[in-house]
Amino acid sequence: MAKPLTDQDKKKQISVRGLAGVENVADLKTNFNRHLHFTLVKDRNVATKRDYYFALANTVRDHLVGRWIRTQQHYYEKDPKRVYYLSLEFYMGRTLQNTMVNLALENACDEATYQLGLDMEELQDIEEDAGLGNGGLGRLAACFLDSMASLGLAAYGYGIRYEFGIFNQKIVNGWQVEEADDWLRYGNPWEKARPEYMRPVHFYGRVEHTVDGVQWVDTQVVLALPYDTPVPGYRNNIVNTMRLWSAKAPCDFNLKDFNVGGYIQAVLDRNLAENISRVLYPNDNFFEGKELRLKQEYFVVAATLQDIIRRFKASKFGSTDFVRMDLSMLPDKVAIQLNDTHPALAIPELMRILLDIEKLTWEKSWDIVIRTCAYTNHTVLPEALERWPVDLFQNLLPRHLEIIYEINRRHLERVSKNYPGDADRMRRMSLIEEGGTKKINMAHLCIVGSHAVNGVARIHSEIIKDTVFKDFYEMDPQKFQNKTNGITPRRWLVMCNPGLAEVLAERIGEDYIRDLDQLKKLLDFVNDDALIRDVAKVKQENKIKFAAHLEEHYKVKINPSSMFDVQVKRIHEYKRQLLNCLHIITLYNRIKKEPNKSWTPRTIMIGGKAAPGYHTAKMIIKLITAIGDIVNNDPVVGDRLKVIFLENYRVTLAEKVIPAADLSEQISTAGTEASGTGNMKFMLNGALTIGTMDGANVEMAEEAGEENLFIFGMRVPDVEAMEKKGYDAMEYYNRIPELKQAMDQISGGFFSPDHPALFKDLVTMLMHHDRFKVFADYEAYIKCQDKVGALYKNPKEWTKKVIHNIAGCGKFSSDRTISQYAREIWGMEPSLEKIAAPDDPR
């Protein structure tokens, strides 16, 4: 049970959590009871915990609605340029606490629930995560929505309302088992269905070329039903919209074909249409060319573009009431950002609308498309790039295939003008890849159809210009930009780590929450003993709290004074959880060899989901749990080394573990992690980073000082040089005794006594075809980890480095990222202005 806040507490907490005014609290209690009795319980005598959660959610939602309506009204009157962020993934997590933070309601709600005899944390734990994403790309979209609202941009997130999000992960006998994420089972208080904006989406059919133009006929229709979720800005009274589409079969689905006696079957077959929004594809950084996935990609794009054009035509401009019909104005009023290539079909779909429906010329249409669209690239891994077979397109989207062929014809004409006789360049730059089966390269389509192409960290943006998109960069250098990723400090500091947010606010004020660069002011306090003590104290409290969470939910006891060494992210060979495993085994072997030496105690936590079809990733999870079984039960080791696999890593677990971490593992092979954003979350929450010079780690080292991170291993040029000369894993195995010992233990069954050959596939991969060169960085990693262990024994010096890191976090706010997108890509100006609250006279 939360204890009531004393007046002194309330003063100390200034307004990071919002003021708990008496009227505020009384109103909240009244509204809570109203919802409990009238909206929810009605004819039941007894309210459940879930009823209390829904009553609280509805009470908080009431505070959003007026602001939501007023914001949309404000946009309608002012008619600003609008930005549409198109993404197949929005990894939102929970909404309740984030809404309370952004509306400054947290203290009042705490006090109100306390007075009603309820525990706020218990209620928050009832909410399901909205897990409509796989990892970085989907979570980035969620952070961007928060920043766009906080910066007063007229922004809309558009995606799919998956009935089943990312699977829940269970670990059974050390293996990952997936179960469906039925997140809507009890209803979702944060969404509002908008059937009045339902839109038809067409598939299949054929194309007719007539004197009146082109027609796509005999199509199958699926309806797109929008659900709106409010997105509140940070204390600026702005509430934007995330609109997610759900697939519905039309009433006459399968009935118009006079299938005699097939009525029951026809109704049952409605499921086939509605399957489009059934489930999120659970692959991270991997392309699976399935028809259902292509249907999802077209579904979100077709529904969204209809909405964009409807809103463009209906908007007021200036003071006149004429409806806007001139589509050549579209790029002045609309920006479309493609989050990776998944919504790439926006390019041919917008062309189809302009050509076939609005009857514009090709030249005019193409000019509008290019000036409206921009593309963000998220990966250079070849297996992740979308390449759709032409025959799939021919069948599903015949008109779009024609348009893509014509885009390609004109594009290659331009290439050949610029590079006469260079047939190989033409082949490399074509949107259509010839060979076995003809395929459409969606990244090439995005580059050709956009006015801006960006990578997500400086090193990544350089790599795409030097390698994968080199030809395109040479032809159109002005298109290529960098936009280093960021994270929202509202969720990833104020909400998940209120203790630290408070300690910082006491020193530098609380304006840093909307202007994270102000964290630089902490450099004045880096030697201040009081701050050092407070930062260390908050970390210790977070560790004790997380240890209690692990004990309660997973029945594992850990030593809160040990170093919490954490690697949480999707399981993937390029992220090198295997390198972490080799360090664990090496540490274990050293402790066994010299049990009386004074080792720095560590609790090593690894968490993350493996794609269900990714065999190697699933074996990596089994290896981690198998190592844990041996290490954790060895009495010689005791609590100096523990290995924990964190089950079902998701947004809500990240919010608990990140504030408790001492060491953040960011150890991908240089040149493979486009940016990373978990790295930034750990940095902001007072962990030190051990990492390679990859992704945003490079810029983190620049901002905080390289001496304040533990950087190790090959840089990109070293990796490239090794590719050239050939990577020989056996050379390292034979030369480094501790590496040989660890590998021999894995392959000899030391960690799988009942099944000695269990890990033979992993061993063979590491020894003979490891694309990510784990052994090449082993020695440098172990040496670097020794430095980490030594520094941790000196808490004061450790904490000074932590303060340097927090002070260097300003750049990694998604507010900075979004301001750059707005100014440099969308042609919009962000603003920190507040609009009037609904209860203010206008």
CA angle 400-404-408, nearest 5°? 170
- Which residue, 178, 59, 67, 169, is CA-closest to 112? 59
User: Is 313 assigned a catalytic role?
Assistant: no
The tokens describing 502, both together, are 């408070």
Give one DSSP letter per residue of 716-755, joined into a string. HHHHHHHHHH---HHHHHHH-HHHHHHHHHHHHTTT-TT-
User: Is 241 assigned a catalytic role?
Assistant: no
Q: Are 713 and 707 in contact (CB under 8 A)?
A: no
- Which residue, 333, 379, 352, 359, is CA-closest to 449? 352
Residues in a beta bridge with 731: none
- Name every residue whose Cβ is closer than 8 Å to that of residue 426 and which is 6 or more positions away in sequence: 412, 415, 416, 419
Strand duo 239-248 + 155-160: pairing:
parallel
Position of tokens 């964009």?
308
CA atoms of 7 and 285, how far apart (whole Å): 51
What amino acid occupies position 790? Answer: A
DSSP-based three-state secondary structure for 432: strand
The tokens describing 197, both together, are 């904006």
The tokens describing 194, both together, are 């908008």
Maximum separation of any 2 CA atoms in the chain, in Å = 90
User: Is 235 assigned a catalytic role?
Assistant: no
Per-residue b or e along 567-603, where b marks 16 or more CB atoms closer than 10 Å to that residue's CB: bbbbbbbbbbbbbbbbbbbbbbebbeeeeeeebbbbb
> Among residues 681, 773, 800, 804, which one is catalytic?
681
- Phi and psi at 239, nearest 5°, equal -130, 110
CA atoms of 246 and 262, how far apart (whole Å): 26
Q: Are 608 and 625 in contact (CB under 8 A)?
A: no
> Among residues 569, 576, 609, 816, which one is catalytic?
569
- Which residue, 291, 300, 301, 292, is CA-closest to 351? 301
User: Is 681 assigned a catalytic role?
Assistant: yes
> Among residues 378, 387, 479, 514, which one is catalytic?
378
Q: Are 354 and 328 in contact (CB under 8 A)?
A: no
The tokens describing 6, both together, are 């004393």
Q: What does the DSSP 8-state code read for residue 478?
A: G
Q: Please give, one letter per residue, the 3-state secondary structure of 351-399.
A: HHHHHHHCCCCHHHHHHHHHHHEEEECCCCCHHHCCEEEHHHHHHHCHH
> Among residues 575, 650, 800, 816, which one is catalytic?
575
- Name every residue whose Cβ is closer than 8 Å to that of residue 192 and which is 6 or more positions away in sequence: 227, 228, 229
> Among residues 400, 570, 622, 773, which one is catalytic?
570
Residues in a beta bridge with 636: none
DSSP-based three-state secondary structure for 170: strand
> Among residues 341, 484, 488, 677, which one is catalytic?
677
Helices within 13-135 (DSSP H only): 22-34, 49-78, 96-102, 106-115, 120-124
CA atoms of 176 and 170, how far apart (whole Å): 6
Q: What does the DSSP 8-state code read for residue 701?
A: H
The tokens describing 507, both together, are 């020193």
CA atoms of 28 and 55, how far apart (whole Å): 10
Strand duo 206-210 + 213-217: pairing:
antiparallel
Q: What does the DSSP 8-state code read for residue 164?
A: B
User: Is 569 assigned a catalytic role?
Assistant: yes
Q: What does the DSSP 8-state code read for residue 639?
A: G
CA atoms of 153 and 330, how far apart (whole Å): 17
DSSP-based three-state secondary structure for 194: coil
The tokens describing 248, both together, are 């519905």
User: Is 290 assigned a catalytic role?
Assistant: no
CA atoms of 403 and 188, how far apart (whole Å): 40
The residues annotated as belonging to the active site are 378, 569-570, 575, 677, 681
